[in-house]
């Protein structure tokens, strides 16, 4: 008895099978090329487990349609990756495998992974934020992944520009939303180098923390999570964490009580396994609800 996981990312697909506790038993990785090609590898992987496979959990790059009542439920929708636009990934899996399929965003899956077995283990709520090429975030509320009319798109919230920041922003929709000002792409365009080459430049990370702290202020006031886990390439610059905590404290100004900030804002514990672990756990949830 195994549970399948597909972490569908814009550059790679990670597929795995795991046990009911969320433990990864076997995994493979394929580049994200075109649906026909990538999904052929995915199917070949899971065919090995046919008979033992109980369900599959998919955590996908987005935007995706998670509304069960929608005619395009289970589709990857308006992604800039043209080959995948309006691709019915859940439909394709249902054709190939007669098991229940769970479907959510990559970041919601990662939040479920971290709250079950990672940096927020044992809590009933947490957020998972990834700050890399783009900014995405998912959340678990009362033990369940956060969805409503659709899935959250928290990377695009409005923030206040720093008065000395002249960079116009990088988001094709909103210019200077959080992602437009603070994702890896914005750092590279603003400073002319990748974040990893700017590790010693304090100004870069103070500005980065200025934007991230504003986002955490709004997330905290709106969602009141018990813990905020922040991963992604940009956050490998661990010097950002203390700056973000300090700036968040200043912004909140004592208005609400937060958990101890050292415990509230933390890096992932599962690291690159958060998503795939969450997908296994989503498969388990989906099986239990089927």
Q: Applying CB under 8 A, which residues contact its own copies?
A: 63, 124-125, 141-142, 144, 146-154, 156-160, 173-174, 214, 217-219, 221-226, 251, 253-259
Q: Smallest gap, in angstroms, from Cβ of residue 280 to its own copies?
A: 21
Q: Nearer to its own copies by C-beta: 256 or 290?
A: 256
- Helix H, strand E, coil C: the string for the chain is CEEEEEEECCCEEEEEEECCCCCEEEEEEEECCCHHHHHHHHHHHHHCCCCCEEEEEEEECCCECCCCCCCCCCEECCCCCHHHCCEEHHHHHHHHCCCCEEEEEHHHHHHHHHHHHCCCCCCCCEEEEEECCCEEEEEEECCEECCCCCCCCHHHCECCCCCCCCCCCCECCCECEHHHHHCHHHHHHHHCCCHHHHCCCHHHHHHHHHHHHHHHHHHHHHHCCCCEEEECHHHHCCCHHHHHHHHHHHHHCCCCCCCCHHHHEECCCCHHHHHHHHHHHHHHHHHHHC
Q: Smallest gap, in angstroms, from Cβ of residue 75 to its own copies?
A: 12
Q: Smallest gap, in angstroms, from Cβ of residue 18 to its own copies?
A: 25
Q: Nearer to its own copies by C-beta: 11 or 69?
A: 69
Q: Nearer to its own copies by C-beta: 96 or 251?
A: 251
Q: Nearer to its own copies by C-beta: 214 or 286?
A: 214
Q: Smallest gap, in angstroms, from Cβ of residue 126 to its own copies?
A: 8
CA 180 to chain centroid: 17
Q: Nearer to its own copies by C-beta: 202 or 263?
A: 263
Q: Smallest gap, in angstroms, from Cβ of residue 143 to its own copies?
A: 10
Q: Nearer to its own copies by C-beta: 49 or 219?
A: 219
Q: Smallest gap, in angstroms, from Cβ of residue 33 to its own copies?
A: 26
């Amino acid at each position: 008895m195994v549970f399948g996981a597909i972490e569908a990312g814009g550059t790679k697909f990670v597929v795995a099978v795991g046990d009911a506790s969320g433990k990864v038993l076997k995994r493979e990785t394929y580049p994200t090329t075109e649906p026909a090609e990538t999904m052929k590898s995915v199917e070949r992987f899971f065919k090995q487990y046919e008979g033992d496979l109980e369900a599959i959990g998919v955590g996908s790059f987005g935007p995706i349609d998670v509304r069960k009542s929608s005619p395009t439920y289970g589709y990857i929708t308006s992604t800039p990756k043209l080959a995948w636009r309006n691709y019915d990934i859940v439909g394709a899996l249902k054709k190939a495998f007669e098991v229940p399929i769970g479907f959510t965003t990559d970041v919601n899956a990662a939040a479920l992974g971290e709250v079950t077995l990672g940096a927020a283990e044992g809590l009933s709520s947490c957020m998972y934020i990834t700050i890399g090429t783009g900014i995405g975030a998912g959340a678990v509320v009362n033990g369940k992944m956060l969805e409503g009319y659709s899935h959250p798109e928290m990377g695009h919230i409005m923030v206040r520009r720093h008065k000395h920041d002249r960079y116009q922003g990088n988001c094709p929709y909103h210019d200077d939303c959080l992602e437009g000002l603070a994702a890896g792409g914005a750092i590279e365009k603003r400073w002319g180098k990748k974040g990893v080459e700017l590790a010693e430049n304090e100004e870069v990370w103070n500005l980065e923390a200025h934007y991230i702290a504003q986002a955490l202020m709004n997330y905290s006031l709106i969602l009141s999570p018990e813990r905020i886990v922040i991963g992604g390439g940009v956050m490998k610059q661990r010097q950002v964490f203390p700056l973000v905590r300090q700036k968040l404290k200043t912004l909140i100004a004592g208005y609400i009580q937060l958990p101890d900030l050292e415990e509230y804002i933390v890096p992932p514990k599962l690291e690159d396994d958060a998503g795939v672990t969450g997908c296994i756990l989503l498969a388990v949830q989906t099986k239990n609800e089927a």
